[in-house]
Amino acid sequence: MPLENIEWSVFVPKSMAVAEWEGTLDPESPLGLLTESFDLNTLLSRDSVALNAQKEKAEKLLELGNTFADRGDPQAARRALESAYELSKFDIDFNEDARVQLDNLKVQQTMVGLTSWRNQAFSNVAEGGGEPARIE
C-alpha cells in the first residue's frame, strides 16, 4: 500500500541541530530551522493534555455504553465499553471499572443467549419435537 500525505514530527533539543537530511521524505522547513522549540516540561505537559483528552473520551464512551445497555442495545453497548477499555489503559482505576462493566455485559449477554436457547429447546419438546437438545 503506498504511503501518501504522511506528516512526521522530529523533535531536536535546542543544543542540537539537523545537519543533513537523507531519504525519500522532504522536510517542510529548511534544515536547521526549528519551527518550535521545546523542553522536557513542554513535552510532559503535551503528554498530560493528550492523556486527559483521551480519558475524557473514554469516560464519554463508558457513559454511552451504559446508556446503550439501559436502552436494550447490547451490541452498541459492548462496542462502546470495549472502546472505553482500550482508551483507558494508562489509567489503572478507570480501566478496571471499564473492564468490570464490559465483563458484566458479556455475562449478561451470555445468560440471555443461553436462556433463549433453553426456551427454544423446551418449546420444541412441548410441540412434540422430542427430547431437548443437550450440550456436551
User: Going by C-beta distance under 8 Å and a sequence separation of 6 or more, which residues neighbour residue 27?
Assistant: 21
pLDDT at 31 over 60: no
Q: What's the mean pLDDT in 2-30? A: 71
Residue 135 is predicted with a pLDDT of: 58
Which residue, among 59, 55, 69, has the nearest Cα to 112 in the 3D structure?
A: 69
Predicted local distance difference test score (pLDDT) of residue 18: 72
Please tell me the distance from the alpha carbon of residue 43 to that of residue 51, in angstroms, as a whole number.
Answer: 12
Mean pLDDT, residues 41-50 taken together: 88
Name the pLDDT band for 133 (thresholds 50, 70, 90): low
Domains of the chain: 53-126 (1.20.58)
29 and 35 Cβ atoms separated by less than 8 Å: yes
User: In the structure, what pLDDT confidence band is assigned to residue 37 with cuts at 50, 70 and 90?
Assistant: low
Instruction: Output the pLDDT for position 136.
Output: 57
* Rounded average pLDDT over 104-119: 89
